[in-house]
């Protein structure tokens, strides 16, 4: 069992919070992604788990052991760095063998395990080379091999694909995921790329400004973002967000004078939580809207983008806000035309304009 538990873990630099006190439990065998923009605290959190960074408060538990103040090498973790961190004056083989040798394993064990790992990552051909002679992708594979060879309780990866070329990143993504499945290993993966996170994670921890914004499966953070930050950050493009005024089951939006009738399931919640006349934010994904001549809402075409088999239409709702709707590629929409559309009532979401938190619909009995 290799569960990781963070209890009220925080990190301060002077008076500044790099990571506000957070709680997180990672299950055995889970692939969990720490996702967020630069400076949000995700890397610091990962480094605290590894011991490369001290905690300013809180405790870290690995498999029921308090590892908060243990040396990084005593935590039974492996760390994969963004810039590979291979020892430059050792051959690839020696780099991979090193962690086992440092632990004093016998020669046979070392050779056997290195062999296994090399086959797994298909890097037989680079073993005699020095890291400086290898491509980025090969270097990262060697780094992964070095991490795997110890069979640690958990893998910690700090943006391992960040230094690679774009086309290469996709293939490496699937490789890493495949390795994870084969090894049944707990993995904590840090990235700022939400596409990567959505593709790889069993659960995603969305972080921003030193705090956790939401923890959930990719589907959860995509369909039910818990606040405006998550709504914007996840998805490309992010969720459409329009501010309006709520009054008696109707949201009035400025600009093109749109009036949106709140769907049945949401009416009681909103009535309870909002006074008449307070601000509210409507959210919906680009694919949740449908262009419809008799649509309830209207927008003015700002630009359109062809994306392979579909198109994304950018509409202005008022002078400040632009929304994006996914549509059929074939129909042309000249700039400044007025376009009507509907929003799928199952996919609409509402957020409090002041607290930025999402409203949750009441579960019907």
Residues of the shown chain interacting with another protein in the complex, contacts defined by CB under 8 A: 12-14, 50-57, 66, 68-74, 77-79, 81-83, 85-90, 98-99, 102-103, 146
DSSP β-bridge partners for residue 195:
none
Nearer to another protein, 58 or 263 (CB): 58
Residue 83 or 333: which CB sits closer to another protein?
83
- We find the least distance from the C-beta atom of residue 338 to another protein, in angstroms, to be 44
Q: How far is the CB of 102 from another protein (least distance, A)?
A: 5
Q: Which lies closer to another protein via its Cβ, residue 85 or residue 347?
A: 85
* 242 HSE (CA, 13 A, CB side): 30
What is the nearest approach in angstroms of another protein to the Cβ of residue 295?
50
Q: For another protein, give the closer residue by CB, 74 or 209.
A: 74
Measure the CA–CA gap between 9 and 48, rounded to whole angstroms: 9
Q: Which is nearer to another protein, 77 or 312 (CB)?
A: 77
Nearest-approach distance from CB 178 to another protein, in angstroms: 23
CA dihedral 88, 90, 91, 97 (to 10 degrees): -120
The values of phi and psi at residue 220, to 5°, are: -65, -50
- Computed on alpha carbons and rounded to an integer, the radius of gyration of the chain in Å comes to 25
Q: If you write DSSP's letter for every residue of 202-261 in order, what string do you get?
A: SEEEEEETTEEEEEE-HHHHHHS-SBHHHHHHSSSS--EEEEEEEETTEEEETTTTEEEE
Least distance to another protein, CB of residue 82, Å:
8
Q: How far is the CB of 251 from another protein (least distance, A)?
A: 46
d(CA 118, CA 79): 18
Measured between alpha carbons, how far is 139 from 145 in angstroms, rounded to an integer?
A: 10
Q: Which of 59/267 has CB closer to another protein?
A: 59
Q: Which residue has the tokens 């329009």?
A: 242
Residue 96 vs residues 71, 91, 140, 251: alpha-carbon distances, Å: 21, 9, 12, 60
- Give start and end residues of each alpha helix (H) in 85-227: 92-102, 107-121, 136-148, 166-183, 194-200, 218-223
Q: Which is nearer to another protein, 16 or 306 (CB)?
A: 16
CB 25 to another protein: min, Å: 21
């Amino acid at each position: 069992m290799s569960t990781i538990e963070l209890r009220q873990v925080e990190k301060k630099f002077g008076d500044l919070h790099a990571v506000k006190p957070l709680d997180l439990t990672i299950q055995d065998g889970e692939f969990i992604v720490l996702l967020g923009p630069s400076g949000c605290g995700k890397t610091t959190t990962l480094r605290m788990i590894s011991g490369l960074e001290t905690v300013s408060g809180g405790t870290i538990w690995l498999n029921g052991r308090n590892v908060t103040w243990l040396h990084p090498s005593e935590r039974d973790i492996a760390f994969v760095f963004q810039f590979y961190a291979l020892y430059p004056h050792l051959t690839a083989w020696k780099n991979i063998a090193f962690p086992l040798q440092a632990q004093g394993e016998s020669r046979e064990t070392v050779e056997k395990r290195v062999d296994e790992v090399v086959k797994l990552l298909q890097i037989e051909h680079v073993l005699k080379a020095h890291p400086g002679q290898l491509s980025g992708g090969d270097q990262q594979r060697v780094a992964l091999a070095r991490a795997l060879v110890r069979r640690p309780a958990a893998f910690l990866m700090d943006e391992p694909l960040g230094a690679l070329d774009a086309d290469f990143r996709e293939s490496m993504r699937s490789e890493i995921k495949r390795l994870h499945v084969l090894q049944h290993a707990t993995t904590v993966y840090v990235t700022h790329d939400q596409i990567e996170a959505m593709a790889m994670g069993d659960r995603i921890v969305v972080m921003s400004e030193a705090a956790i914004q939401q923890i959930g499966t990719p589907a959860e953070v995509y369909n039910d973002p818990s606040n405006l930050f998550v709504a914007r950050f996840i998805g490309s493009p992010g969720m459409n967000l329009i501010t309006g005024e709520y009054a008696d089951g109707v949201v009035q939006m400025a600009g093109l004078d749109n009036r949106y009738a709140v769907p049945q399931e949401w009416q009681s919640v909103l009535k309870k939580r909002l006074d008449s006349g307070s601000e509210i934010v409507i959210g919906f994904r680009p694919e949740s809207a449908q262009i419809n001549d008799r649509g309830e809402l209207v927008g003015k075409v700002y630009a359109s983008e062809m994306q392979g088999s579909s198109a994304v239409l950018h509409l202005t709702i008022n002078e400040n806000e632009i929304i994006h709707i996914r549509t059929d590629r074939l129909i042309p929409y000249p700039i400044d035309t007025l376009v009507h559309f509907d929003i799928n009532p199952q996919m609409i979401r509402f957020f409090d304009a002041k607290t930025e938190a999402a409203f949750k619909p009441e579960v019907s009995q």
